[in-house]
Amino acid sequence: QQIQEDLSKQLFDNLVSFLRRSHSEFQEKTTEWTCRMKSKEIPTAALVLGVNVTDHDLTFRSLSEVLQNNITPYIALLEAKDCPGIKNLMQKLMGQLMNCYVDVDSLEDEDYVQVSQNRVRCSMTSLINWYKSVTKKTDSETPRKKRTSSSRHWQSPPVVVIFRDMESFTTKVLQDFIVISSQRIHELPLVLIFGIATSPMIIHSLLPHSVSSLLCIELFQSISSKDHLSTLIDKLLLTAQFPFKLGEKVLQVLINIFLYHDFSIQNFIKGFQLCIVEHFYSQPLSVLCCRLVDAKKRVDSLSHNQCENIRRLPSFRRYVESQVSEKQIALLTTDSYLKEIIQKLLEDLHVYHENYVSVLRCLHVFTSSLPKYPLGKQIRELHCACLEDQVWETEEYESSLQLARMLNKSDLVTMLQQCVEIFVSSSGKEFDKTVEKLKEFLTQFQKLEAEAFQEQDVSVSSQKELQKKTDLYHLQKTLLELKESRRSKKLTKFEMLRFEVVDYIDSLVRNYLVPADHKTLHEIVYFNTASVLREHLNAAPRIALHTALNNPYWYLKNQALKSDGGTISNKAPDICIAYKLHLECGRLINLVDWLEAFSTVVMAVEGPNADAASSDQVDDIIHARFIRAVSELELLGFIKPSKQKTDHVARLTWGGC
């Protein structure tokens, strides 16, 4: 658990710093612009942030931090849910501004405490008075104070108001606020920032012309969340830094949730966290999932039981089977020998990861420039393809190699250079040779340039030959010859070289991009139970209800409940029978008929042993059971009481469910 916390913390720090960095540029632009603006209209920045509302929190927080450090101490962040009316908005605004001020200067003036407690009387005028007094104060303060504040802020710093989610504000509140503040803009330098999730059109649809003409809007675009995802995957998954890895299916699920549901980075991270938790919770060998040095230590201290666990791993069994028989016996019986081997295997795994990443990047350089992207445009697609199966056996890989063989020279050279860079920067030791080889390719290409002219000459001369002959018979003959020669003509040196390069890359791929499943002990670092993830993150409550009602055998393993196809046995729980009967009805259900059908079904079960004397009693009980089933269905939302006809209920679902 300790490791896991460490790991997730590490991960989080990494993420946050990354997000900060990606936002910083964007923020700088905004801040710069805030400094510049000074005009009669209210300067307004519209930030188009994309639909992933959940990720914006961090953006705004760091934005206000940056603003606070560079420009102004007066920042208020307003959320739509706090501002149902203009009164609440003003209250919130004043409260935040005054608190901001106190925060920044850590002033313990009693005035402010009093004012902030007295929030009922919040109006524009009081706001302006407050602002005046504050600015005056900063003007007439002690020299020390003045110096600090004027060096960081200007003489009359603007008041920045951030509207976090523009779309969910009430139009009226927003309009009123803008109109009111625009009238006092001379006394109170206000800057508005709108966070927009959809498109900038929303400003014009929310605000009428008379109001939007009071604003001086500038648009800022943030990076799309898809780009964020690619960088995230790049930083998180394609490094050897983190010992924990995701299996192909899990990654696929996470990416699918991201792309098809919400575009939310936060949810992706949440899924990743869940994977970590799940992995360390369920897999007893996950203690070994840490840095190589630590892992080696931990291997030494493994108990006998844990060794047994390792022996039980399918990938380890495969490994054992491939060994000679004495070794097999040693592996299966002696713990100390096993530990030795495990250390070696872990090291292998580690080296494999390091090599994998750089070769993957290299391959990506090649495939990402091909037309139609047979192996995908993004590196994550390539990564998935490599994890899924042996990539060189797929059709896509075949076609991409074929396309690569037709590349022209300048592209090929730049690609090779990129590959060299990748290998040089990678930490794996095995790549010295590779780098050398690639460099050799490069020099050969340079040599080729000289030869290329020669080749051109040849072709030109043959062309000339063609022009010389005018005789029809000769022409035909030479044409045939030319064709012949072309067919049998040896490949040019460039082509030869190109083939060589491609083949070399191919061999690299074959050597290093073996899918992780084929590695021994991959269970320790790879989390591969996608079903868990899907269940807990992307649950389908309706499907669960449907199966439970339609096919109770799925949950209650009783032979009496077993039935085939759409039918349901009459011994099923009451609610299932009632549900099944209600499925047969249309939009409205007559309660009396429903009750009768229900009692028929239930009586059929009890019929034989129910005697006539107590039939009234039985009837009552069935009635009660029916009532219970119906009210349960009502609770579940399948039906609701209807006023359309007496004693009827309306169905709220249609079809099977």
Partner 1 sequence: TLGKKIKENKMSNLVEEYFEAHSSSKVLTSDRTLQKLQKRRLNQQTLHDLLKKAPLAYAAEIKELNQQHESLFSKWMLQLHLGFNIVLYGLGSKRDLLEKFRTSMLQDSVHLVVNGYFPSITVRSILNSITEEVLEHIGTFRSPLDQLEFIVKRFKEDSSLELYVLIHNLDSQMLRGERSQQILAQLSSLPSIYLIASIDHINAPLMWDQAKLSLYNWLWYETTTFSPYVEETSYENSLLIQQSGSLALSSLTHVLRSLTLNARGIFRLLAQYQLENKDNPSYPGLSFQDFYQQCREAFLVNSDLTLRAQLTEFRDHKLIRTKRGADGVEYLLIPVDDSTLTDFLEKEDEDA
Give me the least distance between CB of 45 and partner 1, in Å please.
Answer: 22
Please state, in angstroms and rounded to a whole number, the distance separating the CA atoms of residues 647 and 589. 9
Four-residue CA torsion sign, 373, 377, 380, 381: negative
Draw the binding track, 612-641, toward partner 1 (x: CB under 8 A; -: no contact).
Answer: -------xxx-xxxxxx-xxx-xxxxx--x
List helix spans (H) across 37-123: 56-70, 86-105, 110-117
Sole window of 310-318, 482-490, 523-531, 541-549 interacting with partner 1 (rule: CB under 8 A): 541-549
Q: How far is the CB of 9 from partner 1 (least distance, A)?
A: 11
Segment near partner 1 (CB under 8 A); pick from 283-291, 364-372, 476-484, 591-599: 591-599
Quick one: how far is CA 169 from the chain centroid? 28
What is the separation of C-alpha 300 from the centre of its chain, rounded to a whole number of angstroms?
38
C-beta separation of 599 from 622 below 8 A: yes
Question: Is 81 an interacting residue with respect to partner 1 (CB under 8 A)?
Answer: yes
How far apart (Å, rounded) are the C-alpha atoms in residues 543 and 547?
Answer: 6
Stretch that binds partner 1, among 102-110, 204-212, 285-293, 568-576 (CB under 8 A): 568-576
Which residues in the 214-273 window bind partner 1 by CB under 8 A?
A: 262, 264, 266-267, 270, 273
Q: Examine residue 565 and tell whether it contacts partner 1 (CB under 8 A).
A: no
Tell which positions 275-314 bind partner 1, by CB under 8 A: 277, 281
Give strand pairing partners of 159.
190
Residue 70 found at the interface with partner 1 (CB under 8 A): no
Of 371, 541, 565, 608, which one interacts with partner 1 (CB under 8 A)?
541
Which of positions 165-224 make contact with partner 1 (CB under 8 A)?
165
Decide: is 333 part of the binding site for partner 1 (CB under 8 A).
no
Question: H or E stretch including 15?
Answer: helix 2-36
Residue 178's CB is within 10 A of a number of other CB atoms, namely 19
Distance separating alpha carbons of residues 238 and 81, to the nearest angstrom: 40
| Nearest approach, Cβ of residue 90 and partner 1 (Å) | 15
x/- contact string, 470-499, with partner 1 (CB under 8 A)?
------------------------------
Q: By CB under 8 A, what part of segment 41-60 binds partner 1?
A: 52-54
- Does the footprint of partner 1 cover residue 86 (CB under 8 A)? no
Give me the 129-168 binding string for partner 1, x by CB under 8 A, dash otherwise. Answer: ------------------------------------x---
CB atoms within 10 A of CB 33: 14
How far is it, in rounded angstroms, from Cα 96 to Cα 75?
A: 8
| Out of 545, 584, 599, 613, the residue judged to bind partner 1 by CB under 8 A | 545
Cβ–Cβ under 8 Å, residues 482 and 466: yes
267 and 54 Cβ atoms separated by less than 8 Å: yes
How many whole angstroms separate alpha carbon 636 and alpha carbon 632? 6
DSSP 608: G
Binder to partner 1 among 180, 496, 588, 604 (CB under 8 A)?
588
Q: Binding to partner 1 by residue 591, rule CB under 8 A?
A: yes
Site string for partner 1, 437-476 (x = CB under 8 A): ----------------------------------------
- H-type alpha helices, 141-259: 143-152, 171-183, 201-206, 209-212, 225-236, 248-257
- The residue within the footprint of partner 1, chosen from 330, 403, 537, 610 (CB under 8 A), is 537
Using CB under 8 A as the binding rule, whether residue 539 contacts partner 1 is answered as yes
Q: How far is the CB of 558 from partner 1 (least distance, A)?
A: 5
Q: At its nearest, how many Å lie between partner 1 and the CB of residue 595?
A: 8
Establish if 587 lies at the interface with partner 1 (CB under 8 A).
yes
- In a 13 Å sphere around the CA of 417, the CA atoms on its Cβ side amount to 9
Contact letters (x/-) for partner 1, 19-38, by CB under 8 A?
Answer: --------------------
What is the nearest approach in angstroms of partner 1 to the Cβ of residue 120? 10
Q: Is 16 in the site for partner 1 (CB under 8 A)?
A: no
**DSSP secondary-structure letter at 612?**
S
Contacts of 127 (CB under 8 A, 6+ apart): 90, 93, 94, 97, 188
How many C-beta atoms surround the C-beta of residue 411 within 10 A? Answer: 12
